[in-house]
Structure 1
């Protein structure tokens, strides 16, 4: 005996919702998207043309596809035809892969995704899944959809551009000396602009044309031979100047695209070449990628942003600005690893934002070791006389205040130092252990007072029981999110190009990890 099986008979229920489990992820996606205000969907409204699919429906099926580790538009289209949860979310509609791909890269998606994270966080607060005492910040690098060998390096461009400027200036001065061309009005005496090179090219072209006219009108063979010999040099220079014009224009465009970066990819000009942890070629090759920054609590991503620079240090302040402007008010504690520990970041969090940074710095772990604390040649262990403003070295020599000093980094941040100098270092038995300076020079010590105060503040906070407990949560809070994203969700590489499109795609992927974790919370 077999169970009844008849393909010609109508089988109930027709309502697909009844086929889904009670805690199915499709219900969480539906409730999340429905909580987004209608105003966020207004930019998608069009008064002319064929009626479009509702953006709520499109966002639901794309999010659902990402939660199932499906990132291809064609595969999402297939799911709308054979997946029960996708068929329910789409309510029978079957948008094509072109429609799906066009929708998820639209600039208007930025606001929809922002609303998704804002509404999702509100739900977490209502259900008391987060306590809003701290946020945990970390970053990871993801490879972009770009050829690995389309790099443009800033140092190379600057080198070739400098050579071009030097050669063009030499040729211009030579032409003036030989009175081949008249002097032109220059904007800068350091280099010829593209426009000025064009003026030189026009003048040389007139000279060449003049020689050509004389050659064609002359009947003397010897004179024509002489004129051709004289025309050869300006003709070659004209070709050279035309080449310089094209190259200089390209170099200036490259430098404009690079900005403060050291490289970019020709196939995705917003991407920067950086070292990835996933080095599948095992040769340390740099790959084009983006630095993804996220802020989490209880392993839920609450905010994110995309940066082209590979280091985390310079991303913290702009990322905190994005969080405050677009997502939520910053909690009391900002937690991150030593990659974010720097004087500008501490200054920004403590003085500007009035928050507590639970962020270690590069030497924090080492400074906690007993070996470091008892090392007499570590300047942090030298005794300091506050009244006399002097330090004492291991040889009991006094380092007196010499002068103030300032240093400005590439971002324009200025650090202030107090420089001290030892009275006498001649014949010091500890010289080789104390300094690498040459013989005949006394030991100097540069002290950044503000940086030392900031380090002492961080050490104090991390030694307190409550704040130390919060900092210890970092490894189990923010770092697993990247593991969920790459290992569980399978999102390891972008499929789109351009920072705007990349930001949309990583937003969908991060929200998908949130929804998967949220749907499993009761299991």
Structure 2
């Protein structure tokens, strides 16, 4: 069922997740326990606005790139460094620690961590991991704890099950509108007109789904009782 639909002028889904989730919650009169989307919606600022009691199942863009083999993770990419939240330090693949050294690039939203120069100079991977004799540096974003939490949820068995269901369900409305309703393109122009047309198409889809789920006689009875 389609709980909310809206036309936007942007050519991507960035910064749309929280808005669409809010619209759907308002229309349903209830907040969902889970919300799922693909990585096209991923934005730290946007996801951070979602209520903490809603579990967000969404791969980060890095996860999506890795799964699609667009940018394979290299042996000494930052993703291979483990963050120790108790000590606020990173641990490199060789077990050496990178300590917090201050803000990176004069930004309070970016924290720099650096290893001891002698650790790197004596490492067999010196020259591959880093060429700096002062040590390897990694930068941590202020929102990185949110990213880590999202990645853990997405990788969990429950997260993968929810995401598989999303893949099964998300294409059905588009296929029904385009193929069965013949709506290959919008006929009206302007946001108000397109929103109205999308609402009509969504209603047609929802009626068809209710006919399938509860049957036509039961649907007629429910509509008569409204």
The TM-score by the shorter chain falls in which range?
0.7 to 0.9
Corresponding position of 2:3: 302
Corresponding position of 1:401: 100
Corresponding position of 1:345: 46
Distance 2:84 2:17 in 1: 36
Distance 2:146 2:4 in 1: 31
CA deviations on 1:86-130 (whole Å, 9 max, x unpaired) are: xxxxxxxxxxxxxxxxxxxxxxxxxxxxxxxxxxxxxxxxxxxxx
Corresponding position of 1:315: 16
Q: Given the superposition, is the C-alpha separation of residues 459 and 391 from structure 1 closer, same or farther in structure 2, using an over 3 Å criterion?
A: closer
Q: Given the superposition, is the C-alpha separation of residues 308 and 407 from structure 1 closer, same or farther in structure 2, using an over 3 Å criterion?
A: farther
Corresponding position of 1:434: 129
Determine if contact 1:335/1:474 at 8 Å carries over to the other structure. Answer: yes
For residue 515 of structure 1, the aligned residue among 177, 185, 207 is: 207
Q: Given the superposition, is the C-alpha separation of residues 360 and 384 from structure 1 closer, same or farther in structure 2, using an over 3 Å criterion?
A: closer
Over aligned residues, Cα RMSD in angstroms?
Answer: 3.6
1:363 aligns with 2:62: yes
Determine if contact 1:419/1:444 at 8 Å carries over to the other structure. Answer: yes
Distance 1:407 1:302 in 2: 44
Determine if contact 2:109/2:141 at 8 Å carries over to the other structure. Answer: yes
Relative to the length of structure 2, the TM-score reads 0.72
Distance 1:355 1:337 in 2: 16
Determine if contact 1:349/1:356 at 8 Å carries over to the other structure. Answer: no
Corresponding position of 2:162: 470
Query: How much does 1:493 deviate?
Result: 1.1
- Which structure has the larger Rg over C-alpha atoms? 1
Distance 1:314 1:406 in 2: 25
Aligned partner of residue 6 in structure 2, secondary structure: strand
CA deviations on 1:180-206 (whole Å, 9 max, x unpaired) are: xxxxxxxxxxxxxxxxxxxxxxxxxxx
Unaligned runs of 5+ in 2: 217-226
Aligned partner of residue 50 in structure 2, secondary structure: helix
Distance 1:403 1:476 in 2: 46
CA deviations on 1:419-443 (whole Å, 9 max, x unpaired) are: 11233256865355325x7x67743
Query: How much does 1:404 deviate?
Result: 2.8
Aligned partner of residue 307 in structure 1, secondary structure: coil
The equivalences for 1:253-332 within 5 A come to 300-332=1-33
Query: How much does 1:464 deviate?
Result: 4.4
CA deviations on 1:7-58 (whole Å, 9 max, x unpaired) are: xxxxxxxxxxxxxxxxxxxxxxxxxxxxxxxxxxxxxxxxxxxxxxxxxxxx
Determine if contact 1:406/1:416 at 8 Å carries over to the other structure. Answer: no
Aligned partner of residue 420 in structure 1, secondary structure: strand
Determine if contact 1:335/1:471 at 8 Å carries over to the other structure. Answer: yes
Aligned partner of residue 421 in structure 1, secondary structure: strand
For residue 149 of structure 2, the aligned residue among 450, 456, 461 is: 456
Distance 2:175 2:81 in 1: 44
Q: Given the superposition, is the C-alpha separation of residues 516 and 382 from structure 1 closer, same or farther in structure 2, using an over 3 Å criterion?
A: closer
For residue 446 of structure 1, the aligned residue among 139, 142, 156 is: 139
Determine if contact 1:402/1:420 at 8 Å carries over to the other structure. Answer: yes
Distance 1:407 1:355 in 2: 34
Distance 2:203 2:7 in 1: 15
For residue 182 of structure 2, the aligned residue among 474, 486, 490 is: 490
Relative to the length of structure 1, the TM-score reads 0.35
Q: Given the superposition, is the C-alpha separation of residues 347 and 387 from structure 1 closer, same or farther in structure 2, using an over 3 Å criterion?
A: closer
